[in-house]
Amino acid sequence: MAYILVVDDEAKMRHILRIMLELKGHKVKEASNGNEALEIIKDEPFDLIITDIKMPELDGFSLLRHIKDMEIGVPVVFITAFATIDSAVDAMRLGAVDYITKPFEEKRIHITIERALGISKIMEENIELKRQLDNITGSTDIIYASHAMKNTMLLAKKVAKKVDTTVLIRGESGAGKEVIASCIHKESPRAKEKFVAINCAAMNQSLIESTLFGHEKGAFTGADKRKKGVFEYASGGTLFLDEIGDMPLEAQAKLLRALQERVIQRVGGNSDIKVDVRVICATNQDLEGLVKEGKFRQDLYYRINVFPIEVPPLRRRKEDIIPLAVHFVKRAMGKDASTPVFTKGAERILTEHKWPGNVRELANAIERAVIIADELPITAEHLSFLRPDEVLSIPSGFKLPPEGIKLEDFEKEIIRQALELTHNNQSKAARLLGLTRSKFRTRVKQLEEWDRDKK
C-alpha cells in the first residue's frame, strides 16, 4: 500500500483516480491546485504524487520545480489532456518519472503507479546512502565565530583552489582536522570526485601498504585477487591520510615516491601506475620531534609540509563553543531547536569546561545532555556531568608533616573546594560531599567554632 497525493483542479478527475487507487489498497489524499499541494507536502510524506499540468495558481511544472527545490525524494507522475511532444520532453527533463494523457485506461494507470513506486524505493535508498556518505566523509558545514577559526578557514579556502598542493593539517585529537580536509576537497576543482579518508594509526606495515597502493594476486597469504589501493580508488579526487605520524617508515618511503613522482606500485607488482590525487595529511603529533628521533622521514616531512594549517583546540576558541553546541542540539534532536536552547547557567558550564576532547567531546556531551533533558532549554543540571573538578582532590599545599595534621584542617579545605565548585550553593556542595544540607551546615558551623577556639 502506498500514500498517494492526487493534484488536479477537476474534482471529477480526482474522484475517479481516488476510486481506482483505493480499490488497489492505496491511501489517497487530494489537492485542487499546486499551492494547496505544496502546503500538504510540507507536513506529510508521500510515496507518489500524481498531478495535472494545467492548473490555476500553480501548474504542474512549477509544482515539480518546488518539490525539487525542497529536496523531497518523491516521484512525480504528470497526467494531462493537453499532451504534446514538447510538454512530454519538458516533463522528463524536469524529473517526472512518467507522463499519462487523458483519457486513460485504468490498466495504464496501475502499471505506471507500480513502476513509479519502484522508483520511489530507489530514491529513498539514494537519500539514505547520501546520508551515510555524509556521515563517513563529514559535514563541511563548519560552525565557527572565533578569530582563530576564521584564520584557519581562510587558509583552507585559499589552498582549496590549488588543485595539487599537498596540505598538512595539525591539531589535537577531536579538533576537527578531517572536517577541514573535507572542506578543502568540497571547495576545490576536485569536488565532484571522491574524498577518501584512512587512519594510518589503525594499520600495520603490510596492511597500510596494501590499503594505500593495492596488491597483486598472490602477493601475500589471502591475496586471492588483484585489488586497487586508495591512491587508485581516489584518482581525480582527494586522499586524506589521518595520523600520518604513525605511518611505518617503509610505507613512508613509498608514500614519498607517490607524492613526488605521482606513480605507485601495487604490493607484489612491478609496473608503475600513474595516479592523479591530491593528498591531505593530518597529525596530532610533533613531527619535527619524530624526525629528530628517526621515527619520521625528514624528506617526507618537507614534502607533506608544503601548506601547513593549524586547527586550534576548542579551549582556545571559546567563542565557538555555544554556536557549536546549538548546532549539535539541532542535530541530536533531528530538527530545528526552539530558543533558548541553553540557560545562562548551562552556557557558563559549557564555556568554562576545558574540553580536552575538543569538538568531538562537545558533540558527545550535547547528545548526552539532550537525552537527559528530554526537552529544551538545557540547564546546568543537565550538564552536571561536565564538571570534572567535582572529583575533590587533596590540596597541593597539604603535605603530611612528621607530626601529622589536624583532620579539621583537611575537612575545611574539602568544604572550601565543594563551595567553590558549586558557586557557594550549600545544597549542591552537600550533595557533592554525600551529606544532607542540614549535616553540611552543622559541620560548617562546627568547623567555624573550632577556628574560633583555636584563635
**Tens digits of per-residue pLDDT, 49-61?**
999 888 888 888 8
pLDDT at 155 over 80: yes
Provide the pLDDT for residue 88.
Answer: 58
Structure confidence at residue 197 as a pLDDT band (50, 70, 90) = very high
Query: pLDDT of 249-294, one tens digit each?
Result: 999 999 999 999 999 999 999 999 999 999 999 999 999 999 999 9
pLDDT at 338 over 70: no
Q: Which of 99, 114, 35, 110 lies closest to 67 in space, CA to CA?
A: 35
From 132-141, 228-237, 416-425, the region with the lowest mean pLDDT: 132-141
DSSP class per residue in 415-445: HHHHHHHTTT-HHHHHHHTT--HHHHHHHHH
Q: Which residue has the cell 576545490?
A: 188
Domains, the chain: 3-135 (3.40.50.2300), 147-312 (3.40.50.300), 315-386 (1.10.8.60), 407-454 (1.10.10)
Distances (CA, A) of 291 to 57, 262, 280: 70, 24, 19
Provide the pLDDT for residue 389.
Answer: 46
Structure confidence at residue 241 as a pLDDT band (50, 70, 90) = very high
Which letter does DSSP use for residue 73 in this model?
Answer: -
Give percent above pLDDT 70 in the chain. 84
Provide the pLDDT for residue 137.
Answer: 39
Query: pLDDT of 172-184, one tens digit each?
Result: 989 999 999 999 9
Structure confidence at residue 431 as a pLDDT band (50, 70, 90) = confident
Provide the pLDDT for residue 397.
Answer: 52
pLDDT at 89 over 80: no
| 335 backbone dihedrals φ, ψ, rounded to 5° | -160, 175
Provide the pLDDT for residue 134.
Answer: 46
Distance CA 342, CA 73 (A): 34
Say which residue, 242 or 388, is predicted with more confidence: 242
Q: Which residue has the cell 474522484?
A: 15
DSSP class per residue in 206-246: HHHHHHHH-B-TTSSTT--S-B--HHHHTTTSEEEEETGGG
Provide the pLDDT for residue 421.
Answer: 73
pLDDT at 136 over 50: no
Compute the half-sphere exposure of residue 14: CA atoms within 13 Å on the CB side of its CA.
17
Say which residue, 157 or 140, is predicted with more confidence: 157
The answer to whether the CB of 242 falls within 8 A of the CB of 198 is yes
Query: pLDDT of 358-372, one tens digit each?
Result: 999 999 999 999 999
Provide the pLDDT for residue 308.
Answer: 97
Mean pLDDT (the chain) is: 84
The pLDDT of 160-170, averaged and rounded, is: 96
pLDDT at 443 over 90: no
